[in-house]
Amino acid sequence: MNKNSFLSQNNRNSKKDKLIVRLLSVVCLVGGFQVATQYFAQQFNYQPQLGAHFFKIYEPWAILVWANKWYGEYSGIFDLAAGFGILFSSIGLILVLVIKMVLANSSRTNQGLHGSARWADKKDIEAAGLLSTSKSHKSDAVYVGGWRDNSGKTHYLKHSGPEHVLCYAPTRSGKGVSLVIPTLLSWAQSAVITDLKGELWALTSGWRKQHARNKVLRFDPASTTSAHWNPLDEIQIGSGMEVADVQNLTTLIVDPDGKGLQTHWQKTSQALLVGVILHVLYKSGREGTPATLSTVDAMLSDPDRDIRELWMEMAMQDYLDGKSHPVIAASARDMLDRPEEEAGSVLSTAKSYLSLYRDPIVANNISTSDFTIRDLMHHESPVSLYIVSHPNDKSRLRPLIRILINMIIRKLADRITFKDGQPSAHYKHKLLLMLDEFPSLGKLEIFQESLAFIAGYGMKAYLICQDLNQLKSRETGYGHDEAITSNCHIQTAFAPNRIETAEHLSKLTGQTTVIKEQITTSGRRSSMMHGHVTRTLQETQRALLTPDECMRLPGPMKDAEGKITQPGDMIIYVAGFPAIYGTQPLYFQDETFSARAQVNPPSFSDKLTGL
C-alpha cells in the first residue's frame, strides 16, 4: 500500500488547494480576455471582418489580433474593452483570494489519521493473486474462500503460489465443504491429507485416482484395510545418516505430545531405543528377521530371555567389518553399568512408549511398506496419502501419526539444487500438506521450524485449527511465541467461538478513521433563524471489524439434520493487502465439484512398485 494513503493526506490536501487556486486564477485571466473580445465584437455588430466565430463567441485572444490591426483607428473602443476585461479579471482574482483564505481557515479531516484499514475491492483481490479470470478449476491452486461482487455473483478465491495457508475454523463451521473438499477436488498434484473420520477419502479419493491420475493411499493404522508403512524402512541404514535418523525417530517415540524430553527417564529411554533399533536393523540385514517397532518391543519384553543377555548381545555384536557398532555398544554398556533398579526403570519407560505397537492390527500395518516417503514427490505419478484416524483411536495413534508427519518433512526437505543462481525443482510433483486439526498432533518442532523454508522444496502447507487458543496453547500447542502464523502468507477465518481469536482477527483487519460531524446552534428554539451555527468535524478511531462483530459473522445455514444448505461469511487475510470480506464457496453448489465428489472411492489402497 502506498504510504501516502495514511501518512501524507495533509500534504495532498495542500497540493490540491494550490492547484484549485491556480486553475481559478487562470480562468480569471482568460475570462478577462474573453470579456474584452466579446465587448469589442459587440460594438462592431460582429462584422465578418472580425473573423470566424461560434455562435458569436470568439477566441479569447482575438482582441490581441484585432488591436494589432486596428488600434490606431479605434483606440477608444479598445481602451474601453480592455477596461472591462481588467475589471472582470480583478473581481475574479479577488474572489480567488477569498476562496484561498476560506480554504486555509476551514476545518479539514484526515481520513487516515487514526488508521486507513478498509475492505478489499476487486482490484485489491486481483493484485493479491486470488481472483482468477479463468472459469476452470486450476490443478495447482488451493481454495481459500469466495467473494461476492456488486452484482451478487460469487467468485472463487484461489491461491496458486508457494506460500502457506492457515485457517481458523471451529467445529461444524463448514471448513470441509467450503475449503478442503474443493481444494482436494481440484489439486491434481501430490497431497498428504489428515482425514479424521474418513470423509475426505470417501468424497475425493475416487476423483483423485481416476481423473487426477494419482496413486491413492489410505493409511488407517487401526483398520485391517489400511496401507502398510514401516517407519524403520525410512532409516538410511549403513549410511552416515543412520544415527541421526534413529535419534529423530526415537525422540518422537518418547515425546508423544511434543513437550520435549523433560525427564531423566525420557532421555535415558531415548538413548536406549537408539541402540536397540539400530541393533534390530543390523540384525535384520544379516539374518533376515523382521525390523519393526513391534519387533523392538518384543525384543525388550521377551519373557523367556534375561534382559542382560540382550545387552551383552548388543555389546558384543560385530556389525561393522568384525567390529562392534559404537552407538549400539554404548547403549548396551549404559544399561549394563546402571544399578539394577535404575536400569529397570529405564527399560520400563522405554517399553511404555512402545505399547501401541502390541496391537496386532497396528503391528501388521507397520510390518511392511506399500510406499516410501520419497514416493510422495518422486514417484512416476502423483501420490495422495490419506492419514485416517477415527475419533476413538485418535489419541492412541497420535505417536505414529507424528512420526509419519515428521519424517515427511525431514525426508522431503533434505536437499535443494540451484541452476543459474535460482533454486531448481528436484522433485516430480509438488506436495500439498492438508492438515486438518493439526494442533491436535501436539507440538511438532520440526514442522514449525520448517514452515519458513519448505516452500522452496515444493511443499505447500494448508493448516486448519479451531481457534488461536488451540494453536498457542502451552500444554498442547506451540505456545505464545509460535512461528506458525508468521509463516502463513494467507489466513482465513470463519466466525470464531472464543474472544481471543476474535480479538486477533480484529487486529489483523486493522483500524480505520471515522469522521464525526457535530453541529451546535445558539439562539431561541422558537426563532426562525438561529443566532449562530457551528459545524465541527472530528476524526475518531474504530476497528474496521470489532471483536464482537467478528464473533457475529453470519454462519452457514443448516437444515433440521444439521447439514449446511447456505454459505456463511468469512474473512480472508493476505499479507500486504486489505482484508477481504468473503463467503464460503460450498462445493455441492458447484456442478463440477458435485460430479467429482460422486466418483466412488477405490476399495483398496494402491501399492507402489519398486519397494
On whether both 264 and 223 belong to a single domain, the answer is: no
pTM: 0.81
For residue 280, the SS3 value is: helix
Say which CATH number the domain at 457 has.
3.40.50.300
Q: Could you report the per-residue pLDDT of 238-255, keeping only the tens digit for each?
A: 888 999 999 999 999 998
Residue 26 has pLDDT above 90, yes or no: no
Question: Which letter, b or e, does each residue of 100-138 get, where b requires 16 or more Cβ atoms within 10 Å of its Cβ?
Answer: beebeeeeebbebebbbbbebeeebbeebbbbbeeeebb
**Secondary structure (H, E, C), 447-475:** HHHHCCCHHHHCEEEEEEECCHHHHHCCC
Residue with cell 498434484: 189
Is residue 235 located within the same domain as residue 192? Answer: no
Return d(Cα 88, Cα 105) in angstroms, integer. 26
Q: Which pLDDT does position 327 carry in this prediction?
A: 95
User: Is the same domain home to 405 and 455?
Assistant: yes
pLDDT tens per residue, range 127-146: 999 986 555 556 789 999 99
**Domain annotation covers residue 605:** no
What is residue 113's three-state secondary structure? coil
Say yes or no: 282 and 354 in one domain.
yes
Neighbours of 236 (CB within 10 A): 13
Q: Is residue 562 part of a domain?
A: yes
220 and 235 share a domain?
A: no
pLDDT attached to residue 4: 44
133 inside domain: no
The domain of 43 spans 4-105
Co-location of 290 and 381 in the same domain: no
The three state secondary structure string of 30-79 is: HHHHHHHHHHHHHHCCCCHHHCCCECCECCCCHHHHHHHHHCCCCHHHHH
**Is-contact 588 595, C-beta < 8 A?**
no
Cα distance between residue 553 and residue 569, in whole Å: 6
Could you give the residue ranges of the DSSP H alpha helices within 301-359?
Answer: 307-316, 326-337, 340-352
Lowest mean pLDDT among 131-135, 283-287, 295-299, 544-548: 131-135
Distance, CA of 372 to CA of 201 (rounded, Å): 20
Which residue, 469, 416, 486, 410, is CA-closest to 445? Answer: 410
One domain for residues 422 and 517: yes
Cell numbers 511398506 correspond to what residue?
A: 369
Residues 323 and 374 in one domain: no
Residues 253 and 317 in one domain: yes
Q: Does residue 128 belong to any structural domain of this protein?
A: no
- Report pLDDT for 7: 43
Let me know if residue 356 belongs to a domain.
yes
- pLDDT tens digits along 540-581: 778 889 999 999 999 999 988 889 999 999 999 999 999 999
Q: Please check whether residue 398 lies inside any domain of the structure.
A: yes
Q: What is the pLDDT of residue 6?
A: 44
Q: Has residue 604 been placed in a domain?
A: no
Residues 188 and 59 in one domain: no
H or E stretch including 535? strand 532-543
Which cell numbers hold the place of 421? 543462481
Residue 572 covered by a domain: yes
DSSP H helix total and E strand total for the chain: 22, 17
First to last CA, the chain: 52
| Mean pLDDT within 350-365 | 95
Structural domains of the chain, count: 3
